[in-house]
Amino acid sequence: MYHLLKGLHEHLTRKEEFSVIIIGLDGAGKTTLLEKIKTTYNAIPGLSPDKIGPTVGQNTGSITLSSTILQFWDLGGQRGIRTIWHRYYGDCHAVVYVIDAEDRERLGEGWEVFDGVLSNPQILGVPLLLLANKQDSPQSLSVDEIRHDYEDWYQRKLESARRIRYGDGSNNEIAMRRERIASLDVMGVSALEGTGVRAAVDWLFIRVQNSRRDTKGNS
């Protein structure tokens, strides 16, 4: 009887856990974002921005929302560290790509890397959120400007691939990529000040729940 009740209690109080990876170029603000998420949702605050240095490897942190645990994996964005990102793709339930909306010089590099993420078959069906960070800065591009900048970059990439008759995948792949870009959610945040952080976490919470239902429905 004890074991039966214990099992029932465990079943009723069990929390579902989802993994979310946070990726993007070095300096985009991923760790600042993770620490702000911890401060916003947990009793123990995250690190203050002045205590954060470049990530060599990964940082983790989790938050609990009703019966759901979101486990975040903040992966270092330096060129050499990006090569390990793919190891996390197979097990993640959502991807957050952080772009530094203030650093216009590196937007092209950011899109090049983002494009590689977007076209990775392992995360094809995984919810993907593009965050335009540093919205507190007056120099930052807005959410709309960020979206257009990426669309323009992608169009230019397709055209130059055509010009050198190199091809950028089959028509089917291009159509799939276009669809993903069109349905891409872009949100503005300031990891430093916390603006937009709750909206981004709400998006993740809803999307991981929905995609779990999709998976169950498809199986």
Ligand X SMILES: Nc1nc2c(ncn2[C@@H]2O[C@H](COP(=O)(O)OP(=O)(O)OP(=O)(O)O)[C@@H](O)[C@H]2O)c(=O)[nH]1
Binding residues vs ligand X (CB under 6 A):
24, 26-32, 49, 52, 54-55, 76-78, 133-134, 136-137, 190-192
CB of 177 to Mg ion, least distance (A): 28
Our CB check for Mg ion shows the closer of 107 and 191 to be 191
The set of residues, in sequence order, having a beta carbon less than 8 Å from that of 200 and lying 6+ positions away, is: 96, 129, 131, 187, 189
User: Amino acid identity, residue 207?
Assistant: R
Instruction: Kindly list the distances between the CA atom of residue 206 and the CA atoms of 12, 110, 184, in Å, as whole numbers in the listed order.
Output: 21, 26, 15
Which one of ligand X, Mg ion, none interacts with residue 151, CB within 5 to 8 A by kind? none
Helix (H) or strand (E) holding 2: helix 2-13
Residue from 20, 28, 31, 200 binding Mg ion (CB under 5 A)? 31
Strand arrangement, sheet containing 185-188: 58-65, 68-75, 16-23, 94-100, 128-133, 185-188
Of the candidate spans 3-11, 50-58, 87-95, 185-193, the one that interacts with Mg ion by CB under 5 A turns out to be 50-58
φ, ψ dihedrals at 74, nearest 5°: -95, 110
Q: Which does 26 bind (CB under 5 to 8 A by kind): Mg ion, ligand X, none?
A: ligand X
Nearer to ligand X, 19 or 190 (CB): 190
- Residue 215, judged by CB atoms within 10 A of its CB (0-12, 13-18, 19+), counts as exposed
Tell me how far, at minimum, the Cβ of 144 lies from ligand X, in Å.
18
* 55 is a contact residue toward Mg ion (CB under 5 A): yes
* Closest approach of ligand X to the CB of residue 196, in Å: 9
**CA distances to 17, 23, 26, 139, 215 from 146, in Å:** 31, 17, 18, 12, 31
Measured from the CB atom, is 80 or 217 closer to ligand X? 80
Size of the site for Mg ion (CB under 5 A): 3
Minimum CB distance to ligand X, residue 194 (Å): 9
Annotated binding site: which residue ranges? 24-31, 55, 77, 133-136
Cβ 93 to ligand X shortest distance, Å? 21
Helix (H, G, I), strand (E, B) or coil at 97: strand
- DSSP code of residue 21: E
Footprint on this chain of Mg ion (rule: CB under 5 A)? 30-31, 55
